[in-house]
Structure formats: structure tokens, C-alpha cells
Chains A and B, each alone.
Chain A
């Protein structure tokens, strides 16, 4: 009899302990969900935040965390799926920022535009030394727009000012931007297993942290560091303009690689890693839904529907040396306009 009573009390005690434990677990779960919900911005990937500036670290005291740079984001109107969507791709070298040299200049600018109705894609490379009017500032090289926007704490920061500068140059409304850090670019190409590139001329590349090497005119399979070096090299035929061509070539190679059938299992398997890379090294104002919608649409676009162009000599730029000795490129508006019309107007769904 006593044994049974004890057993009953033990059972009751266990029930009470379990009930209390569940309440504790519930409280923890409540806190977790609350913090996750409160921390989710819902505006796509997180903004890129450099680790810490050298000037901030240089002091003898303990390393201070990088102060959060809060620049109000200019939220675009959500894409409705039928109007042309244009994205400004900006390549940045954040090592300048980390080294305490201030906000970085954009190293490469590519305007990517997709018309969902005609399934036509246009890609325009913009040279970084192009002399343009930066809205709100004086004339300067177009690659200074990003740094000016960040440095002056404009709404939307550097990307917004860069978008406005390119809009004023080309005229095409730009809804989105994607800023990618070089190191992220490298790692992402490594994650997808490298890219295949057909080198058109003998060229010397210098991958970061490795010895330089010569590439002969033939097909190569490049890893991340090599691909980045190939896209950035300037000491080759065409200088900056050949560089723009190579950047588009690399972009197309990435697209080919990612959309290849054999890549689907790899992408699925590496999705967490790729998302982590994107989260930490890419800054964009696109939402995840918009990115998925665009990626979904990309399946229907053939390589023949991708039109590429570059603001390049002859005709579209003039070479000038400023009184301070700076060599810049003058934009020739009517010639750039002709290229713009070929890339963005002739491919538009707005037609009779």
C-alpha cells in the first residue's frame, strides 16, 4: 500500500516537474521567436558591414566594435513582375574601408536590365573614370558617387547616389542595386566550383595572395581568385574597356555555370553556404521574394536574348586631362544615347 502511494506521489511529482519544465521551455521559446521576429528586417539580405576600421583599431585600447552606420534605406516600389526591372551591380573593394581609407569607390559598375514581357536582358558596362555630374555634388568620376553618398550620409547611402548618377547618365530608371565585395565574389565562385572562360588574348593576371601567371588565348577553368584577377586586370589591350568586356564575360560564365543542369544538386547542397556568403558580403535592396522571382524568370531567358554593351571608345567617350593632371573620360551624350536605345529601348515591351 505504501509503495503504491509513493509511486503515485512520484508520478504526480514528475508531472508537476514536467509542467514547470515545459513552462520554462515555453518562456525560452517565446524569447527566441520574439527576438527572431523583431530582428528580421524583411528587406532582403543584411547590409554589408566592414569588420573594423584600421584607424579605430589602431589605438592602444581594446578593439571597439564598428559603430553601426545607419543610413536610411530608400525602399523601392515592389516589383510587379511585368515592368522592366533594372539593377545596378557594383563591385567594391572593402579593403579600402577596412584600411581606414574611407568609403570605397566603386571598382566596377554594370547595369543589368530585364524586360519580363519580351524576355530580353541588357547589360551595360560603365567605365569608372567617366566624368559625370554627381547629383548634388560637382562633376567627378562616376566611381566617386558611392563614396560621396556614404560619406555624406545621404538617404540610401552610396548605392542610392550611384544609382542616381547612372540614371542621370543613361536615363533608364533603376530600381535595385547589388553591391558585392571582392572577397565574397571570390568565395562564391569557389563554392560553385569555378567558371569556364575563353581567354581571347595573352594576359597576365595577379590573383590576390598568389604569384602572377600568364593566361594564353584558350579556354580555362578559373577558380575564385583567378576569376577575380581576370575580371580586374587593366594592363591589357583596351585598358579599362577591355576590362569591362572581361567583367561581362565573367558574369556570363557565372550565369552559365549556375543555370547548368549539373549544378542544381550542388546549388541545393551548398545553399546554406551560398546564402551565408550572400548575407555577409552582398548588400542589396531586393527582397528575397524578388530575388527568387528574378532567378525564376532567368530560366526562360536564352543566351541569344542577352544584349551586351559598354560605354567605350571610339565615339562614346573622349580622353581628357584635367588641370590637376587627372586623366578622365568625357561622356558623349548623344552616342551613349544611341547605345542606350539599342540596349534598353529596342528590347522593350513598349511597342505598337
Chain B
């Protein structure tokens, strides 16, 4: 029965096919039914168009009826229209995926693709532009800072020049000429680049690895040891603090030894570089771990005395002169330059307001002997003349002060070596009134709202 029905259907199909399309491959009907062969889905539909819609030629002439079932038509799919277009009861025909569904998916996909590609391309181009702009700005800034640094050097603004060249080298260590000019500024500032010898600590054979490995406690400790060997005190301290943050008791004694050594070395380095208070701070921290040695303690005293003298600079010339004269005797930092400046200021005060020209002459002489300044010599000569006039009983001969001025700052600085006993003054500054500092703990009570 079923085979007979198939045969009948095949004949009908053959009759309905146009003569110029014997294979039934025409697509003339496709535009008419762009959403798919909807009529085929109608139960029992057996119209010629539905048959012709089988684009794969499911009904070739002369083909056995069974062969049509094996082809991938709706008949071969579950739920497809059974032969004869009869849909079994209770089993509805499955809708074929309509063509518009492709567009529904394809259009957003296309949009996303375009936006994704555009976004990525924009991001990478932006990154390149930013890097290029930063490099350009950085080069511009470095060039400007270099030029300004040269001007500062020429104008004897050595500290400002040092700041500029330090910055340049921090950005580009190979910037041409910066290192040489930095050294020039340092020499002028009497700040030699010294390397403090660290306290002996057990050294280990580790390969240098400057990046901090937070992975394990052992690697942190190893990083600290490596940094210690390399003289990277910041690296030692940071690694050990990270270690302490993870495990406070991990090799605590050894860690404390390393920490002490690094703080001491960094503190001395800072003091020698002219950052006295910063160095004292580091040494004070080191002191929490172990008592300081004599050398470090002496440098603390020297730095503290320098800072004490410096606090009077520009305020009390007499005290500034007196205190800086002691620091200058040790020849450290810019103490002699400041002594000369303070002495000159004090001399001006004595010559003018105090009306003591002879005392002023002593200060002028001390100032010029320490730091020659030809522009100021006439003032000193004038003070000497006034002094002689005031003290001489007879008519005043013309006096000319001749000073053998030497530029102290051009001399080679003589800082005591790490093993030397510091020659700087070790006097402890004393204040006339030293009550305890103000220190208020945060009140635990909150103000009433």
C-alpha cells in the first residue's frame, strides 16, 4: 500500500515538473517563499511547489521510490512529513529553520565583530600613541631639565642642578652628559659619592634576582640576601618587611641582622650624601634592632650638630657662625660654605647695627678665608679702615686688607672612611628650654552628634 502511494506521488511529481527543468532544481519558487517551504509544513500538503522546493532533487525521474527516502529531505528527518504527506496523528511536523533566522543571528554577530575589531584596533593604536606621546613629552622634559641644570650649574645653584640631573638619570641613566654634570654638582656641594661598607653578614651564593618574589618565604629571604650582596639597601628592607608581613617569625634573628645592617648602611649613606635627618631616621630604626656601633653613633652626633647649626641660619648669625665653625672644622657637607655665609652676615650685623667694626673685620676675614668672594672684599676693606680709624690715636693710615682667600669647595672633601674615627664634632646640641614635645593620642570618645 505504501509502495503504491509512493509510486503515485512520483508520477505526479514528474508530471508537474516543467520540461526545461527535468531535475526539479529550479529556484523560481524560492523568492516566493523566502521564509522556507511553509506549505510543506501544512499537514497533508502535497502541492507541486512543496515538492519542487526540495532543492536537492529528491524526486528524480525514474529513481526508485525508496531512494527518495534515503536522501536528506524532510522525510528522512524525525518529525518530517512522511511519504504521501501524511502526518501521523499526535506528531506535529517540525518547522524548518527559516532563512530570516540566519539574518537574526548574523546581523548582531557582524555588528559585534565589527565593534570588537574596531575596539581592539583602537586600543592598540591608542597604546602606541600614548607611548609615543609619553616618550616625546619625556624627551622634551629631559632636554628642558638638562638645559635648566646647565644654567643652574653656571649660576652656582648646585643643589638645584643636582636635583635636575638626578631626575634625568632616574629616567634615562644613559642620558649624554648628565652623569658628568651631576658629579660636578656633587663635587661643588661637597657631597662625594661614597659607599658605606656594610657590616659583615653571612653571605650566601645566590644568583642576582632583582625582582621581588612574593611566592615563598624562602625566596623572600633569598631576595633580601641577594640585595644585601648587591648593596641594594632598599631592596633588603622591602623584602624583609614583606617577609615580616607574611610570617613575622620566619628566621627572625637572621632577618633582624640583615635589617639592622641594611638600615645602618642606608642611614650612613644618606648622611654622607647630605640627607642628615633622613640618615638619622634610618639609624634610629636600626637602633631598635641592635645598639649602634661607634662610627654610626658618631655620625649621628655630627649630623645632629650640623642640623642644630643649620636651624640658626638666617635667624641668628652669631650662633650660626659659632656652630658652623665647629662643623666646618670637620669639613663635611656644605658646612664651610654656610659658615662663610653666616660669618659674613654676622659681620654685616656687627659693622652696621652693632657698630663694632673691629669685630666685624674678624668675621669678614674668617668668611673670606673660607670662601673667597672678590665682590665682597671692598666691604671688608672698608670695615678694616673704619676699625683702624676708631682705634688709632694718630692720623689713620690707609689700610688695605689682603686676604688669601681659598675656595674651600674646590678642595677634595675629606670624609672619614668607614673604619675611621669620625673627625666631626661630637658635641651634643643643647637647647635652653627643652620641655617634652606635644603628643596627643587620639581620643577614644567620639564627639556627640
Chain B's closest residue to A115 (CB) is B241
Q: Measured between C-beta atoms, what is the minimum distance from B144 to chain A in Å? A: 7
Q: Is the CB of B122 within 8 A of A342?
A: no
Contact with B along A192-206 (1 / 0, CB 8 A): 000011100000000
| Sample of 16 A–B contacts (CB below 8 Å) | A30-B118, A30-B121, A34-B129, A37-B127, A39-B126, A72-B138, A82-B242, A135-B159, A136-B157, A156-B167, A164-B163, A196-B448, A312-B438, A323-B349, A334-B304, A344-B281
CA distance A153 to B137 in the complex (A): 15
Q: Which of B107, B122, B171 lies in contact with A29, CB distance below 8 A?
A: B122
Q: What residues of chain B lie closer than 8 Å to A25, measured between beta carbons?
A: 111, 114-115
Inter-chain contact A309/B449, CB cutoff 8 Å:
no
Shortest Cβ distance from B100 into chain A, in angstroms?
9
Nearest residue (CB) in A for B127 is A37
| Closest CB in chain B relative to A144 CB, distance in Å | 13
Which 7 residue pairs spanning A and B have beta carbons closest together?
A37-B126, A33-B122, A198-B447, A171-B281, A155-B167, A171-B277, A26-B118
Contact B313 A315 (CB under 8 A): no
User: Least Cβ distance of A297 to chain B in Å?
Assistant: 12
> Contact partner of A252 among B127, B275, B284, B442, CB < 8 A?
B442
Q: Chain B residues with Cβ under 8 A from A70's Cβ? A: 137, 140-141
In the bound complex, do residue B159 and residue A173 qualify as a contact, i.e. CB atoms below 8 Å apart?
Answer: no
Known: A29-B118, A219-B448. A335 touches B163 (CB 8 A): no
Q: How far is the CB of A181 from chain B (nearest CB, A)?
A: 24
| In contact, B125 and A34 (Cβ under 8 angstroms) | yes
In the complex, A198 Cα to B449 Cα: how many Å?
A: 9
Residues of B within 8 A of A336 (CB): 437
A117-B245, A333-B429 known; A38 and B434 CB under 8 Å?
A: no
Task: Tell me if B438 and A23 are in contact (CB < 8 A).
Answer: no
Q: In the complex, are the beta carbons of A322 and B126 less than 8 A apart?
A: no
> Are A27 and B245 in contact (CB-based, < 8 A)?
no
Segment at the B interface, from A47-55, A100-108, A207-215, A299-307: A299-307
Contact of B264 with A by CB under 8 A: no
Task: Please give the distance in Å from B286's CB to the nearest CB on chain A.
Answer: 8
A304 touches B167 (CB 8 A): no
Contacts of A333 in B (CB 8 A): 277, 304, 307-308, 311, 429
Q: Which residues of B from 357 to 372 have beta carbons under 8 Å from A?
A: none
Which residues from chain B sit less than 8 Å from chain A, CB to CB?
A: 31-32, 34, 103, 107, 110-111, 114-115, 117-119, 121-123, 125-127, 129-130, 133, 137-138, 140-142, 144-145, 148, 157, 159-160, 162-164, 167, 170-171, 212, 237-238, 241-242, 244-245, 256, 259, 263, 275-281, 284-285, 288-289, 304, 307-308, 310-316, 349, 429, 431, 433-442, 444, 446-449
Flag whether A351 is at the interface (Cβ < 8 A): yes
A74 proximal to B (CB < 8 A):
yes
Q: Which residues of B contact A268 (CB under 8 A)?
A: none
- In the bound complex, how far is the Cα of B275 from the Cα of A172, in angstroms? 11
Cα of A307 to Cα of B133 in the assembled complex, Å: 44
User: How would residues 88 to 128 of chain A score, 1 for a CB under 8 Å from any chain B CB and 0 otherwise?
Assistant: 00000000000000000000000000001100000000000
Q: In this assembly, does A339 line the interface, its C-beta being within 8 Å of a C-beta of chain B? A: yes
CB distance from B276 to the nearest CB of A (A): 8
Contact of B289 among A72, A168, A352 (CB under 8 A): A352
Q: Is B118 in contact with A27, judged by CB distance below 8 angstroms? A: yes
- Report if A309-B442 is in contact (Cβ < 8 Å); known contacts: A35-B126, A197-B447: no
Inter-chain contact B281/A172, CB cutoff 8 Å:
yes
Contact B436 A72 (CB under 8 A): no
- List A contacts of B433 (CB < 8 A): 314-315
Given A33-B119, A304-B442, A315-B436, A133 contacting B313 (CB threshold 8 A): yes
Q: Are A306 and B315 in contact (CB under 8 A)?
A: no
Q: Which of B256, B310, B442 has the most CB of A within 10 A?
A: B442
Q: In this complex, what residue of A is CB-closest to B107?
A: A18
18 more contacts with CB within 8 A, not counting A8-B34, A349-B245, A350-B263, are A22-B110, A26-B117, A29-B115, A34-B123, A38-B129, A74-B167, A135-B159, A137-B160, A139-B315, A155-B145, A196-B447, A307-B439, A330-B315, A337-B277, A339-B438, A342-B437, A349-B241, A352-B289
Tell me whether A171 and B280 are in contact (CB under 8 A): yes
Q: Which of B122, B245, B256, B278 contacts A167 (CB 8 A)?
A: B278
Interface size class of A (residues with CB under 8 A): 35 or more
Give bound CA distance, A342 to B144, whole Å.
42
Residues of B contacting A298 with CB < 8 Å?
A: none
Interface centre among B121, B310, B311, B434 (most CB of A within 10 A): B311
Report which A residues bind B (CB closer than 8 A): 1, 4-5, 7-8, 11, 15, 18-19, 22-23, 25-27, 29-40, 70-72, 74, 80-83, 116-117, 131, 133, 135-139, 152-156, 164, 167-173, 196-198, 219, 221, 245, 252-253, 256, 303-304, 306-310, 312, 314-316, 320, 322-323, 328, 330-345, 348-352
Query: In the bound complex, how far is the Cα of B121 from the Cα of A35, in angstroms?
Result: 12
Partner of B434, one of A312, A315, A344: A315
Which residue of the partner chain A has the closest CB to B171? A72
Roughly how many angstroms separate A336 CA and B436 CA in the complex, as a whole number?
10
Option from B164, B288, B437, B442 in Cβ contact (under 8 Å) with A306 = B442
Q: From A333, which residue of chain B is reached at the shortest CB distance?
A: B307
CB contact between A334 and one of B310, B312, B434, B439 (< 8 Å): that residue: B434
Q: In whole Å, how far is A196's beta carbon from the nearest beta carbon of chain B?
A: 5
- A331 nearest CB neighbor, chain B only: B311
Evaluate contact between A131 and B442: CB separation under 8 angstroms: no
> Chain B's nearest CB lies how many Å from the CB of A307?
6
**Residues of chain A contacted by B212 (CB below 8 angstroms):** 80
Contacts of B32 in A (CB 8 A): 1, 4
Give B76 Cβ to nearest chain A Cβ, in Å: 29
Provide the residues of chain B in CB contact with A81, threshold 8 Å: 242, 245
CA distance A168 to B447 in the complex (A): 36
Query: Is there an interface contact between A155 and B241, defined as CB atoms closer than 8 Å?
Result: no
Q: Which residues of B contact A304 (CB under 8 A)?
A: 441-442, 444
